[in-house]
Amino acid sequence: MDFKKCPRVLEPRFLPLAWALAALLVAGLGGCGKSPEEVKAAKAVEVAQTTGSLVVKSNRANTTVDATLLAPPGAAAPAVVKGTDEGAAEQTLAALPPGKYAVTARSAGWPEVQTEATVEAGRTTDLAVTFKGGSLRLASEPSGATVKQGNAVLGKTPLVLPSLPPGECKLTLEYPSWPVVSLQTTITVDGETTETVRLPHGKLTVESTPSGATVLLGGKPAGQTPLRLERFPAGTRKLTLQGKDFPPLEISVTIEDRGDVKVSPQLGSGFPLLEPEAVLRAVWVPHDPNRLAPPVDGTTGPSQPRNGIIKNLNRKRLYETWLRKTYRFSAVVKSYEPKSGQVEFVEEQCALSKYRVLANLSVEAQGGTDLAPLLTKGATFTLYGRLSAVEEPRWPGKVITFEFSAAEPLR
């Protein structure tokens, strides 16, 4: 080879440029050898140096935040950036391009808060957001009412609610076994609203004859008669009285707000009403209405008649279903014998037979000084007592006798 004929490879004046290009090539070849983690870390460093963060701290726990970069006029609207912790008091908005942002904070039930913040590259900006409200000092009469806002229980009266959103505030107050009362008030910013709610109620006195009955209100014992209830909910309520040897007696009581009511029920009015015609229809056996017969099967023992007469009545059914039980009865007085304490009522006629009712008053009832006017002839007298006998007469009598024992007047 003739080296004298080969062109010159590189002029000395181009050597510095060549070395620089070689250095860049080596650097590039070295970068191609980095791992994905190293590339990611380098990118994170670059983002941290070219963007900033915004930390929004709120005085409400359930806060949501979003921020929008304020673009110059005519520029496209930038995307809205939301906080990373939905519903937390502290929200972080990361990797924000530098600039001024419009920030909106929201909390359920509160007016939203709008403000601005400036984000700088490589820095974190702290922003405090305050939802301004007022307080409510709430009392009730009587105290101890449960206060609710919707389904949320806020506490019992007397109650101070230190942080409520401004504007209209709707609450409900509940007292055990009382009607719910609604409250609507207005909360002012940085102010304290005071409210006292009266739960409508009055006073109730419950007496009974005889006394000593247990009074149930809403199925729960409230005391024994005579009973004075200083706070009884207004409106119409049902009470149940339970006395020894008496059936439960349910009564309705109506009280207006600030009213004072007295009730004096008689426990005997809780016994079922005896209807003689209905009894006769249930036990009547009309196969031979004229026969006189001695006791037969089913009529021996307690069910047999006193006079041995069985014409039309099924004595066994009568004994098992009606006799020996206590009933109420009301009719017109025919006569009263003070010495024996026997009351005879006016005879009645039904489709099956005539019947009369006799009642023998208890010793205690006979001693009542106010009893005589109630037992005058022609007066309507009401009693309760034990049905002790139903007797058919001998022929030609056609009046069946019903008899009560240990009878007590119902006034």
DSSP string, 75-144: SPPPPPEE-SSTT-SEEEEEEEPSEEEEEEEEETTS--EEEEEEE-TT-EEEEEE----EEEEEEEESS-
Domain residue extents for the chain: 1-71+79-131, 134-198, 201-270, 276-409
Q: Please report the sign of the dihedral spanned by the C-alpha atoms of residue 324, residue 329, residue 332, residue 333.
A: positive
Domain 134-198: CATH class, spelled out: mainly beta
- CB distance 121 to 50 below 8 Å: yes
On the question of a common fold for 134-198 and 201-270, the answer reads yes
**Beta-bridge partner residues of 220:** 217
Phi-psi region of 350 (alpha: psi -120 to 50; beta: other; left: phi over 0): beta
Q: Mean pLDDT in the chain?
A: 87
Identify the weakest region by mean pLDDT among 42-46, 99-103, 205-209, 322-326.
42-46
How far apart, in whole angstroms, are the C-alpha atoms of residue 126 and residue 260?
Answer: 64
- CB distance 178 to 255 below 8 Å: no
The CATH architecture to which 276-409 belongs is Beta Barrel (2.40)
- CB distance 207 to 225 below 8 Å: yes
CB atoms within 10 A of CB 326: 21
- CB distance 283 to 370 below 8 Å: no
Task: Supply 152's token pair.
Answer: 């949320």
| 201-270 to CATH, choices 2.170.120.20, 2.60.40.10, 3.30.2290.10, 3.40.50.1950 | 2.60.40.10
Residue 203 phi, psi (nearest 5): -115, 145
Q: What angle do CA 161, 231, 222 make, to 5 degrees?
A: 115
pLDDT greater than 60 at residue 100? yes
Residue 333 phi, psi (nearest 5): -75, 130
pLDDT greater than 50 at residue 24? no
Q: What would the pLDDT profile of 268-280 be if each residue is shown by its tens digit?
A: 999 999 999 999 9
Q: What would the pLDDT profile of 347-367 be if each residue is shown by its tens digit?
A: 999 988 999 999 999 998 988
* CATH code that applies to domain 1-71+79-131: 2.60.40.1120
Q: What angle do CA 234, 235, 241 make, to 5 degrees?
A: 95
Q: What would the pLDDT profile of 140-194 be if each residue is shown by its tens digit?
A: 999 999 999 999 999 999 999 999 999 999 999 999 888 899 999 999 999 999 9
Q: Please report the sign of the dihedral spanned by the C-alpha atoms of residue 33, residue 38, residue 43, residue 45.
A: negative
pLDDT, greater one: 403 or 41 = 403
pLDDT greater than 60 at residue 22? no
What's the whole-number mean pLDDT along residues 12-30? 47
Q: DSSP class of residue 290?
A: T
Q: DSSP class of residue 13?
A: G
| Res 189: pLDDT | 95
What's the whole-number mean pLDDT along residues 18-28? 47
